């Protein structure tokens, strides 16, 4: 029976137990017999004088021992698997070469710190074994020359090294707190938007599909551009999605801007464009002979065409983006009766979020970027950085801002800043989502992050004089310089790398320079919790996210320095490798639409062949042809990450001597995360 809620018994008073007594007996008298007089009898204290059965006690101990052995074996299997993976990476891995001079310098600096840390650790271990204290002794009794050297080192460390490290620590902690306050204000702004249900609203009823072919159709003419370069995996799905946009075909022109240098890919894209062109879609294939300026040069060349002057708006989609058919109907109407509006940006949505741990961690960052940063800045400031894709521009705004420039690798941020200086306003639509793909390998993600963090610093050098001379209000200039560029693009990677990758290991060897526990533990966890709020499904990954962000600070810091000092790597543009995860489902969906279009062609005037018949023929030819040898996947080894892994693990060993628990665990787990990333054990490997 269920125990009754008898409140007097909760206060220690006696009450009559309810229910019938139960007696459990067993034929084997070697086991104990327990008599239960009522349902509440099991909750009463056991009589200590009652004897215990030895065999029962032995079985309990055996069960506990079995569980302990199982746990130890599980840990052993994990460690052994990690050891085997590390061994394979070290034997078969290819060492990543540093192309930029600054990258080589940073690696050498880290190696110097590592050698010094190993020397200090050996010295400290020797002093610990001899019974010397790890701090300046109170007595001046010197026992031998080695003790004299150790005592001199302690005095020099406390008098000269510790103050410099402590000063740099305080500076980084101050930057840490400023950035944390900015992050908290952004989260409060996002909460206010959700609470008040603030979002851009249309002044009129959105466009209806019934009016598409009406005689009084006054839809604006829209130009859609798809810049791509060697996008073999995703070109078909992006072209298919854009060609199915629900917009009058006579008022829509699609430009496929192909910068591919592989002739076979060029023919594939030409064939896809030709198929859609035969179906009545206004689509043009353009290929530049002189491929300069990367994506900016490609877009600039396309905008110089004579027919562009007949169009009012331009929508841009990268090769892996797949807009829904109603994308233009949800974005273009915002421009009506709003002549100051220059850009409408939609949110990204990812098809491979759950592919591996790397894509899950990326999703946390990008959800915060769109849900919090872009939305708050769009609502309260009417300005944010253009994401380079899934946006609609007013062509007049592009022309008045100077058009696409080839001076940086972040042409999207460049045009956004110049348009903001000219007085144009931006709108971010958090409810309009466009499917795209996340990088699934660490190599592709690292190259993407290097470009995303070196370009803004290079752009900051170029735009700073124009921002200062502009006629915009002072608080807008301050927001652009202090928050948009310095705080979120420069300070964040600087203090993250310096504080957690350099200063924290040094404080283990220079204990006079203290780093408080709240800096190591409480604030980073709280900031990570705020970052993960827009994607609560990723909450179980909060600890890997914190460690991975500190690990990525090396790449971001290196990129920031490269862009700030105009080094060679700041001009590099590497196309992010895609896997085309959504290709097969898209082909099946298009095949279904093709079947419906054959029955009701007037309802699907923009639909064409899905290409399944061509794919089947191609598969038959491939099966008949001799199979090529399988492509081996490359295992990269990243030198800077490995050097920092050994530095942090060395500092973790040193922290054991001073019994600093929190510092030891943080250094241990952070060192392991650097080791995993340095050996390319996160994400997929590149082929």
Residue 26 located in a structural domain? no
318 has pLDDT over 90: yes
Mean pLDDT value of segment 199-204: 80
Q: Mean per-residue pLDDT for 606-617?
A: 43
Residue 182 among the catalytic residues: no
532 and 678, same domain (yes or no): yes
- In a domain, residue 437? The reply is yes
pLDDT band (50, 70, 90) for residue 223: very high
Same domain, 167 and 292: no
Query: Are residues 401 and 484 part of one domain?
Result: no
Q: For the chain, what is the domain count?
A: 2
Is pLDDT above 70 for 674? Answer: yes
Q: Using one digit for the tens of pLDDT, what is the confidence trace for 244-254?
A: 999 999 999 99
Q: Tokens at residue 423, please? A: 């007085």
Q: In this structure, is residue 317 part of a structural domain?
A: yes
User: Are the C-beta atoms of 411 and 433 separated by less than 8 Å?
Assistant: no
- Given a cut of 80, is residue 209 above it in pLDDT? no
- Report pLDDT for 8: 42
Q: Which of 88-102, 181-195, 528-542, 591-605 has the lowest mean pLDDT?
A: 591-605
pLDDT bracket for residue 430 (50, 70, 90): very high
Domain membership of residue 250 (yes or no) is: yes
244 and 319 assigned to the same domain: yes
**What is the rounded distance in angstroms from the CA atom of residue 331 to the CA atom of residue 328?**
5
Does the pLDDT at position 616 exceed 60?
no
Active-site residue flag, 414: no
371 occurs within a structural domain: yes
Q: Which two tokens stand for residue 84?
A: 């085997």
Please tell me whether residues 561 and 424 are part of one structural domain: no
**Better-scored residue on pLDDT, 320 or 628:** 320
Burial class (CB in 10 A: 0-12, 13-18, 19+), 466: exposed
Q: Given 258, 318, 320, 412, which residue is catalytic?
A: 412
Q: What is the pLDDT of residues 379-423, one digit of tens each?
A: 999 999 999 999 999 999 999 999 999 999 899 999 999 999 999
The pLDDT assigned to 17 comes to 45
Q: What percentage of residues in the chain have a pLDDT greater than 90?
A: 47
Residue 458 located in a structural domain: no
Based on the fold, state whether residues 176 and 122 are members of the same structural domain.
yes
pLDDT of 580 strictly over 50: yes
424 and 522 within one domain: no
Identify the band that residue 657 occupies on the pLDDT scale cut at 50, 70 and 90.
confident
> CA–CA separation, 635 vs 92, rounded Å?
7
Q: Which of the two residues, 153 and 185, has the higher pLDDT score? A: 185
Supply the pLDDT for residue 125. 80
Let me know whether 429 and 371 are in one domain: yes
Q: Are residues 186 and 233 in the same domain?
A: no
Q: How confident is the model at residue 633 (pLDDT cuts 50, 70, 90)?
A: low
Q: Averaged over 47-73, what is the pLDDT?
A: 70
d(CA 435, CA 240): 13
pLDDT (0 to 100) of residue 603: 35
- Distance in angstroms (rounded) separating the CA atoms of residues 391 and 429: 10
Percentages of the chain per state (helix, strand, coil), in multiples of 5: 60, 10, 30
Query: What is the C-alpha separation between 637 and 91, in angstroms, rounded?
Result: 10
Q: What is the pLDDT of residue 395?
A: 97
Greater pLDDT, 527 or 100: 527
Evaluate whether 42 touches 36 at the Cβ level (below 8 Å).
Answer: yes
The CATH number covering residue 362 comes to 3.90.550.10
Provide the pLDDT for residue 512.
Answer: 85
Stretch 461-488: mean pLDDT, rounded? 93
Tell me, yes or no, whether 294 and 262 share the same domain: yes
Q: Is residue 410 part of a domain?
A: yes
Pairing of strands 222-228, 313-316: parallel
Look at the pTM and tell me if it is higher than 0.85. Answer: no
Say yes or no: 244 and 387 in one domain.
yes
Bridge-partner residues for 344, per DSSP? 392, 427
Residue 657 is assigned to a structural domain of this protein = yes
Instruction: Please state, in angstroms and rounded to a whole number, the distance separating the CA atoms of residues 167 and 530.
Output: 28
Domain that holds residue 108: 96-130+144-198+474-576+635-686
Q: How far apart are CA 182 and CA 188, in angstroms?
A: 10
Residues 324, 186 within the same domain: no
Distance CA 272, CA 599 (A): 23
pLDDT value, residue 317? 97
Question: How many other β-carbons are positioned within 10 Å of the β-carbon of residue 367?
Answer: 23
């Amino acid at each position: 029976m269920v125990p009754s809620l008898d409140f007097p018994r909760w206060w220690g008073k006696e009450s009559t137990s309810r229910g019938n007594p139960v007696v459990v007996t067993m034929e084997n008298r070697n086991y104990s017999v327990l008599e239960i007089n009522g349902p509440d009898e099991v909750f009463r204290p056991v009589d200590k004088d009652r004897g215990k059965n030895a065999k029962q006690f032995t079985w309990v101990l055996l069960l506990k021992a079995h569980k302990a052995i199982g746990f130890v074996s599980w840990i052993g299997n994990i460690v052994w698997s990690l050891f085997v993976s590390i061994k394979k990476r070290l034997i078969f891995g290819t060492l990543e070469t540093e192309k930029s001079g600054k990258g080589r310098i940073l690696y050498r600096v880290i190696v110097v710190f590592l050698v010094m840390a190993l020397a200090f650790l050996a010295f400290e271990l020797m002093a610990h074994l001899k019974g010397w204290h790890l701090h300046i002794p109170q007595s001046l009794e010197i026992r031998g020359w080695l003790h004299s050297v150790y005592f001199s080192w302690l005095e020099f460390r406390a008098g000269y090294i510790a103050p410099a490290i402590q000063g740099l620590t305080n500076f980084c902690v101050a930057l840490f707190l400023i950035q944390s306050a900015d992050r908290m204000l952004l989260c409060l702004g996002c909460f206010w938007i959700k609470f008040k249900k603030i979002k851009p609203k249309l002044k009129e009823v959105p466009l209806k599909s019934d009016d598409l072919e009406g005689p009084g159709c006054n839809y604006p003419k829209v130009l859609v551009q798809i810049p791509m370069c060697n996008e073999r995996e995703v070109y078909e799905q992006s072209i298919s999605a854009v060609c199915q946009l629900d917009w009058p075909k006579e008022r829509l022109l699609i430009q496929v801007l192909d910068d591919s240098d592989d002739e076979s890919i060029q023919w594939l894209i030409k064939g896809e464009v030709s198929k859609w062109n035969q179906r009545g879609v206004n689509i043009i294939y353009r290929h530049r002979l002189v491929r300069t300026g990367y994506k900016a040069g490609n877009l600039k060349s396309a905008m110089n065409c004579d027919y562009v002057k007949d169009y009012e708006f331009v929508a841009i989609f990268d090769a892996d983006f797949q807009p829904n058919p109603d994308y233009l109907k949800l974005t273009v109407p915002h421009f009506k009766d709003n002549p100051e509006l220059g850009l409408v940006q939609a949110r990204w949505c990812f098809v491979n979020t759950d592919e591996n741990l790397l894509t899950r961690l990326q999703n946390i960052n990008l959800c915060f970027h769109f849900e919090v940063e872009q939305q708050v800045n769009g609502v309260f400031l009417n300005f944010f950085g253009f994401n380079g894709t899934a946006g609609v521009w007013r062509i007049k705004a592009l022309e008045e801002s100077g058009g696409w420039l080839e001076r940086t690798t972040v042409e999207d941020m460049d045009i956004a800043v110049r348009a903001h200086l000219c007085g144009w306003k931006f709108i971010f639509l958090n409810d309009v989502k466009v499917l795209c793909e996340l990088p699934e390998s660490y190599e592709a993600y690292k190259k993407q992050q290097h470009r995303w963090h070196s370009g803004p610093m290079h752009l900051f050098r170029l735009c700073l004089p124009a921002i200062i001379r502009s006629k915009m209000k002072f608080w807008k200039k301050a927001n652009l310089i202090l928050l948009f560029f310095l705080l979120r693009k420069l300070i964040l990677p600087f203090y993250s790398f310096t504080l957690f990758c350099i200063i924290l290991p040094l404080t283990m060897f220079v204990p006079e320079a203290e780093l408080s526990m709240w800096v190591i533990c409480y604030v980073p966890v709280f900031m990570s919790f705020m970052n993960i709020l827009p994607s609560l499904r990723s909450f179980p990954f909060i600890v890997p996210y914190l460690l991975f962000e500190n690990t990525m600070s090396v790449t971001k810091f290196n990129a920031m320095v490269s862009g700030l000092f105009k080094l060679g790597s700041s001009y590099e543009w590497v196309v992010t490798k895609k896997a085309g995860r959504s290709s097969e489902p898209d082909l099946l969906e298009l095949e279904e639409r093709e079947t419906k279009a054959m029955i009701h062609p007037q309802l699907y005037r923009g639909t064409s062949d899905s290409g399944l018949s061509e794919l089947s023929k191609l598969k038959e030819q491939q099966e008949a042809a001799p199979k090529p040898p399988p492509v081996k996947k490359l295992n990269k080894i990243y030198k800077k990450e490995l050097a920092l892994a050994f530095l942090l693990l060395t500092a973790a060993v040193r922290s054991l001597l001073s019994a600093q628990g929190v510092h030891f665990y943080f250094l241990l787990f952070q060192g392991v995360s650097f080791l995993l990333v340095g050996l390319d054990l996160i994400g997929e490997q590149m082929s």
